[in-house]
Amino acid sequence: MNKLILAVLVFFTSVAVHSQKIDEKNSFDKIKERLNVGFESNSQWYLNDDKTGDFDEDEKLRANSYLRIDYQISERFSSGFQLESYMPEPLLNYSRLFDKEIGLGTFYLNYRTKKLDLTLGYYYAQFGSGLILRAWEDRALGANNALRGGKIVYDPTSYLRLTALYGKQRKGFEVSDSNIFGFETQFDIADALQIERLNTLQLGLSYVGKQEDYSNETPNPNATVKIPEMVNAFGAQLDLEYKNIYTNFEFIYKSENARLNNFIPNIVSFSEKALFNGNAITWNIGYSQKGFGIGSTFRRLENMRFFSEKSALNLNNNPTNQMSLNYIPALTKQHDYTLANIYLYQSQPGLVIENYEFPLVKSGEIGESLDLFYNIKKGTLFGGKYGTKLSLNWSYWANLKSNYTDPSGTPYFVGDDLNYETELLNFDNKLYSEINAELRKKWTPKLKSIFTYINFSYNQGFLESKGADSFVNAWIGIAESTYKFQGGKSVRLELQHLSTNDDARNWAGGTLEYFFNSKFGVYLNDSYNYEDSKNTENTKIHFFNLGGSYTKGSTRVGINYGRQRGGLLCVGGVCRPVSKNTGVTLNLVSTF
């Protein structure tokens, strides 16, 4: 609370001091011009339901709320803070680190000139694609990995940018015990050497270090190595663009650290008989022109989970990835349709043993994806009067092919002596594959449609830690159409069907949405597993949602009543688990 009071006082003092320099007649209007306020509140009233079960926890009405205030003090100085409320408790499945009814989430003071950008307090940052460092916020996922300290960005020339930072990572309303150091340089070679034939030729070099003190921990009597206090990661990235062709390559090396032994659920244990380094490789290449594009992405990850605190590696205790230093989303196609989000692939970047009953050894992932789009021209046989848009996505991901050795003979401690070697390019251990084809067609000025076909193979045994390989093979068909009436009215109808070989059998789903105008709309959707299946938890239950939204200016209000299917909620390829529940949800977002 003292930090909250201090930050608010500092902020409003700076506003008051600045206002003294403004003519009294126009002071209020000028302050408003420099002031940005954003408010967001997501609340839910959880209800008992004979299909999804009783909500047994004490607090049935919960809310996550955020108030962010930013003020441009002068041409060069700005400041701001974010207040957060989780009153009386956070929404279901959010991290318990956000344990305050109201508290100061972040605050900052920024100084910026043409060449210099200096931030003190909390800040966000990303090096390269985020594989080595990304401090970011996503409220839907319950993630806020901001760093508290200082960041300097300096542009000595038009072709060189230097970034240095230090901080402690946010941990709920506190910060982690470790220290984070970072440095990045971005060098635009094409600009520096005036290579006019190239659109882009840029080299990036980065470093991130994590220092964590283990002196207060009880030493492991069986340890044969000492866990290093400093873990260092080094990265290099090259971006090239020539006419319609682009490519970029990134390599990350992470120094040795202890391996999480997650063999016994809910117990944080680390193997201290060997240390393991990590690495990541990504390569993107593509070609695009008007009406046609093709792109491919390759990625290989080995032992690349990177957290500011060692204990956060245990995802049984940290399912929302709090204190994650890097950003490793799944590189599969991201879907908006409900049935396409039942079997979701999550990236597998770590080295870990999982599940006591069915031990699984995971060391990383390797895979690739391909995207292709083509616009059939207007006036042709298949293009018709308005043209036709086609897109295709293919992806394939596998567990790293590794040779494991483990001389340990005591079942309870199995895995402590584990060691391994991986093969660089081996795609044999399949985890997930998907083919996605989409056709977008405009029939008339008022009517347009989207048709989607998805076929995938999902290694449920491995990805859900259920033991040996067992695949769910399925296809999904989706059709939707939108018709626009006069006066801003529109109606959208969406139909879906998912069919699997065994696990969840057959699902049907759909959405009906109607907008009375550009501001007000209502919808009804439903997903129903209509056939007996192994997945009895979600069998023969209508997961329906009825709701609407109203927008006026920069304020939007949405309300929804319905059921949430248990599983994963994903944003941009990063996921968190959600529990099956029923309730009324209210969302409010406003900026002014």
Q: Is 412 helix (H, G, I), strand (E, B) or coil?
A: helix
Which of 299, 328, 357 terminates a domain? The answer is: 328
**Contacts with 479 (C-beta within 8 Å, 6 or more apart), sequence order:** 449, 450, 451, 452, 494, 495
Q: Are residues 27 and 68 in the same domain?
A: yes
Q: Is residue 165 part of a domain?
A: yes
Q: Is residue 186 part of a domain?
A: yes
Q: Are residues 526 and 569 in the same domain?
A: no
- What pTM was computed for the model? 0.91
Are 255 and 232 in contact, with CB atoms under 8 Å apart?
A: yes
Helix (H) or strand (E) holding 304, with range, is none
Q: Is residue 194 part of a domain?
A: yes
pLDDT digits (tens, 9 = 90+) for 280-335: 999 999 999 999 999 999 999 999 999 999 888 777 678 888 999 999 999 999 99
Are 348 and 431 in contact, with CB atoms under 8 Å apart?
A: yes
The number of angstroms, rounded, from the C-alpha of 60 to the middle of its chain's C-alpha atoms is: 27
Is 60 exceeded by the pLDDT of residue 411? no
DSSP 280: E
Task: Supply the pLDDT for residue 531.
Answer: 82
| Phi, then psi, of 508 in degrees rounded to 5 | -125, 145
pLDDT digits (tens, 9 = 90+) for 454-478: 999 999 888 887 767 789 999 999 9
* Number of domains into which the chain is organized: 3
Are 186 and 157 in contact, with CB atoms under 8 Å apart?
A: no
Q: Which of 315, 312, 229, 234 minimizes the C-alpha distance to 275?
A: 229
Q: Give the Cα separation of 293 and 244 in Å (integer).
A: 9
Which of 308, 328, 348 terminates a domain? The answer is: 328
Q: Are residues 376 and 515 in the same domain?
A: yes
Lookup: tokens for 210 = 């994590």
Domain that holds residue 352: 331-402+430-540
Q: Are residues 62 and 120 in the same domain?
A: no
Q: Are residues 536 and 557 in the same domain?
A: no
Q: Is 461 helix (H, G, I), strand (E, B) or coil?
A: helix
CATH of the domain at 231: 2.40.230
Q: Are residues 501 and 569 in the same domain?
A: no
Helix 2-19 × helix 27-34 angle, to 10°: 130
Q: Are residues 129 and 199 in the same domain?
A: yes
Q: Are residues 163 and 297 in the same domain?
A: yes
What one-letter code names the amino acid at 339?
A: L
Q: Is residue 423 part of a domain?
A: no
Encode burial over 446-472: b for 16+ CB neighbours within 10 A, e otherwise. eebebebebebbbbbbbbebeeeeebb
Q: Is residue 410 part of a domain?
A: no
Q: Which of 482, 278, 283 minimizes the C-alpha distance to 370?
A: 283
Q: Give the Cα separation of 21 and 67 in Å (integer).
A: 27
pLDDT digits (tens, 9 = 90+) for 522-579: 999 999 998 876 666 677 899 999 999 999 999 999 999 999 998 888 888 888 888 8
The number of angstroms, rounded, from the C-alpha of 476 to the middle of its chain's C-alpha atoms is: 24
Which of 307, 328, 349 terminates a domain? The answer is: 328
pLDDT digits (tens, 9 = 90+) for 214-242: 877 766 667 778 889 999 999 999 999 99
Q: Are residues 283 and 390 in the same domain?
A: no
Q: Are residues 123 and 206 in the same domain?
A: yes
Is 80 exceeded by the pLDDT of residue 410? no
pLDDT digits (tens, 9 = 90+) for 278-295: 999 999 999 999 999 999
Are 81 and 93 in contact, with CB atoms under 8 Å apart?
A: no
Q: Are residues 140 and 259 in the same domain?
A: yes
Q: Is 340 helix (H, G, I), strand (E, B) or coil?
A: helix
pLDDT digits (tens, 9 = 90+) for 154-201: 999 999 999 999 999 999 999 999 999 999 999 999 999 999 999 999
In the numeric block, the tokens 């919808």 are attached to 523
Q: Is residue 409 part of a domain?
A: no
Q: Is residue 421 part of a domain?
A: no
Q: Compute CA distances 397 → 358, 361, 453, 560, whole Å.
A: 22, 16, 20, 36
Half-sphere exposure at residue 273, Cβ-oriented, CA atoms within 13 angstroms: 17
What is the percentage of the chain residues whose pLDDT exceeds 70? 89
Q: Are residues 162 and 194 in the same domain?
A: yes
